[in-house]
Amino acid sequence: MAAMSLERHTRRAALAIGATSAGALALTGCDSAEEEPKPKPQPQELAKLDDVPVGETKLVTMPGGKKLPGKDRVEQVVLTRTDEQTVNAYSNICTHAECLVKPKGEDLFCPCHNATFDRTTGEPKKGPPQTPLNQVAVHIADGKIMTGSA
C-alpha cells in the first residue's frame, strides 16, 4: 500500500511540475508592455496629374527615397499613366543588380545588362532580371499623384 501511495504522489508531483512549467513558458511569450502603433506616413506629392499625360511615363524623385550605397544616387519613382484616373508607380531600382532603370520607348530600360521591364506592370521582359520592379503605392487626389493609398 505504501508503494501505491508513493507512486500516486510521484505522479501528482510530476503533473504539477509539468503544468507549472507549461504555464511559465506560456507567460514568457507574453509582453506586458504594449507597443505604440506607428503613425501612418503622410501622403506626399510626387507630381501633378497633368504633368503625366495618358500613355506617358515620367521619372520623379521619391520623397525620402533610399540612397544607394557608394553612389551619389537616390531612388526615384517611375510613373506611368494608363488612363485618366490610373497611374502605376514602380521603384527605378533594378531588381537584378540595383542599377537605375529609366523610361525608353514603351519599356523601362536597365543599362547594366540591357534588361527591359514592362512600364505598366513592372514585369521583366528581357535580360537577367527575374523579379518585377517594386511597386510604389500611389493615389490621385485633387489633381495630384500622391504617395500611399487613398
Cα–Cα distance list, 113 to 8, 34, 101, 110 (Å): 75, 48, 11, 7
Q: What pLDDT was estimated at residue 72?
A: 64
Share of the chain above pLDDT 90, in %: 55
CATH assignment, 45-147: 2.102.10.10
Distance CA 31, CA 33 (A): 6
Tens-place pLDDT, residues 101-116: 999 999 999 999 999 9
Q: What pLDDT was estimated at residue 95?
A: 94
Residues 6+ apart with CB under 8 A from 97: 110, 112, 113, 128
For the chain, give every domain's residue range: 45-147
Residues 6+ apart with CB under 8 A from 37: none
The answer to whether the pTM exceeds 0.75 is no
Strand partners, 144: 48, 141
Which long-range contacts link 100-105 to residues 24+ away (Cβ below 8 Å)? Answer: 100/73, 100/76, 101/133, 102/59, 102/78, 103/57, 103/58, 103/59, 103/78
Of 36-40, 75-79, 88-92, least confident by mean pLDDT is 36-40
More confident residue, 127 or 13: 127
